[in-house]
Amino acid sequence: MEGHWSTGAGLTADECQALVRGVRAEATVTRLNDPALWGREIDDERYLLVSLK
């Protein structure tokens, strides 16, 4: 799980996916922006990136 946080820290999903695809054939991003996951609305970008094989 990664994110591009409201503080400016972290990587965007696109940046992270591009880095992983530089060495792997697959990188799937699932965005974690559902308020039910955090108990409130969020303003930053949160995601899960999975790369198999």
Q: What is the pLDDT of residues 28-42, one digit of tens each?
A: 999 999 999 999 999
Burial of 22 (0-12, 13-18, 19+ CB in 10 A): exposed
State residue 6's pLDDT score.
85
Task: Name the β-bridge partners of 39.
Answer: none
State residue 38's pLDDT score.
93
Quick one: how many helices (H) and strands (E) in the chain?
2, 3
Half-sphere exposure of 34 (CA within 13 A, CB side): 6
Q: What is the pLDDT of residues 1-51, one digit of tens each?
A: 889 988 889 999 999 999 999 999 999 999 999 999 999 999 999 999 999
Return the DSSP state at 6. T
Match 């094989």 to its residue by tokens: 53
- Residue 53 clears pLDDT 80, i.e. is over it: no
pTM, entire model: 0.83
Tokens encoding 22: 């530089």
